[in-house]
């Protein structure tokens, strides 16, 4: 294939894939998530054709949002945002921590799949946060995980007596992990500065199913 023909083929592939998977702006993506969560809370879920989606998505994906969530079994992002296949690129780690592996996965979605919104999603009564607050003996691997949460606990404790320290730490941990995403990823930092990426926080309330978005 000649060089110019190769360029033409490449151009056509890019054009056709953006036609098949139009990019969703950060604000639009946030609206999708918020309306999905409202449907989840009200119990009026969208009808989904999962078998059809399997077929439609077999050759590509263009998730409109990346969610860095906790592994807690009660907070599965696709369900709490009433979403289908191919829409959310999800990284789940106890305490929704931005480890290098988590950041690498996020960079992949932003750089190669066109995602323009990242949500760091904490939740009420998080076990990982409670463990970081209460201390005690844990395995070396859990210790490594808690190490990412420790600065949030330190900061929360520094503000003095609060009625619910875990709750304060959940909020602070979301903010801390957002800060870590910017601090440890040049790609995310540059994309956010150019306006083609937004990073927001959210906290899922176990008692209601509602996600409160912050920092946008």
The separation between CA 112 and the C-alpha centre of its own chain, rounded to angstroms, equals 16
Tell me if 171 contacts Zn ion by CB under 5 A. no
Residue nearer to Zn ion on the CB measure, 72 or 82: 72
Question: Across-strand partners of 122?
Answer: 203
Q: Give the angle 102-64-41 at the CA atoms, nearest 5°.
A: 95
> What are the structure tokens assigned to 161, written together?
């007596």
Residue nearer to Zn ion on the CB measure, 30 or 70: 70
Which positions from 98 to 137 touch Zn ion by CB under 5 A, shown as an x/- string?
----------------------------x-x---------
Closest CB 167 distance from Zn ion, rounded Å = 13
Closest CB 94 distance from Zn ion, rounded Å = 6
Of 33, 68, 72, 103, which lies in the binding site for Zn ion, with binding defined by CB under 5 A?
A: 72
Question: E-assigned strands of 70-152?
Answer: 88-92, 117-123
Closest CB 75 distance from Zn ion, rounded Å = 7
Residues 178-207 binding Zn ion (CB under 5 A) are: none
Q: Please list the alpha-helical segments (H only) found in the chain.
A: 3-20, 26-42, 50-56, 77-80, 100-112, 127-134, 140-158, 165-184, 186-194
Closest CB 126 distance from Zn ion, rounded Å = 3
Residue nearer to Zn ion on the CB measure, 91 or 197: 91
> What are the structure tokens assigned to 129, written together?
């946060």
3-state secondary structure of 176: helix
Closest CB 97 distance from Zn ion, rounded Å = 10
Residue nearer to Zn ion on the CB measure, 98 or 110: 98
> What are the structure tokens assigned to 42, written together?
């009200």
Q: Which residues bind Zn ion (CB under 5 A)?
A: 70, 72, 126, 128
């Amino acid at each position: 294939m000649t060089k110019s023909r190769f360029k033409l083929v490449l151009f056509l592939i890019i054009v056709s894939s953006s036609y098949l998977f139009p990019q969703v702006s950060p604000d639009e993506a946030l609206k999708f998530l918020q309306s999905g969560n409202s449907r989840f809370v009200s119990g009026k879920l969208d009808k989904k054709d999962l078998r059809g989606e399997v077929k439609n998505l077999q050759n590509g994906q263009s998730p409109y949002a990346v969610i860095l969530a906790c592994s807690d079994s009660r907070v599965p992002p696709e369900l709490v945002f009433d979403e289908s296949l191919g829409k959310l690129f999800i990284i789940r780690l106890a305490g929704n921590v931005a480890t290098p592996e988590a950041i690498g996965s996020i960079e992949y979605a932003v750089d190669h799949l066109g995602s323009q919104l990242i949500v760091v999603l904490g939740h009420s009564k998080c076990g990982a946060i409670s463990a970081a607050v209460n201390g005690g003996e844990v395995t070396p691997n859990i210790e490594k995980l808690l190490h990412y949460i420790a600065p949030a606990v330190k900061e929360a404790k520094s503000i003095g007596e609060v009625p619910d320290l875990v709750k304060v730490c959940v909020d602070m941990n979301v903010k801390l992990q957002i800060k870590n995403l910017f601090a440890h990823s040049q790609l995310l930092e540059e994309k956010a500065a150019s306006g083609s990426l937004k990073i927001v926080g959210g906290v899922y309330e176990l008692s209601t199913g509602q996600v409160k978005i912050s920092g946008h």
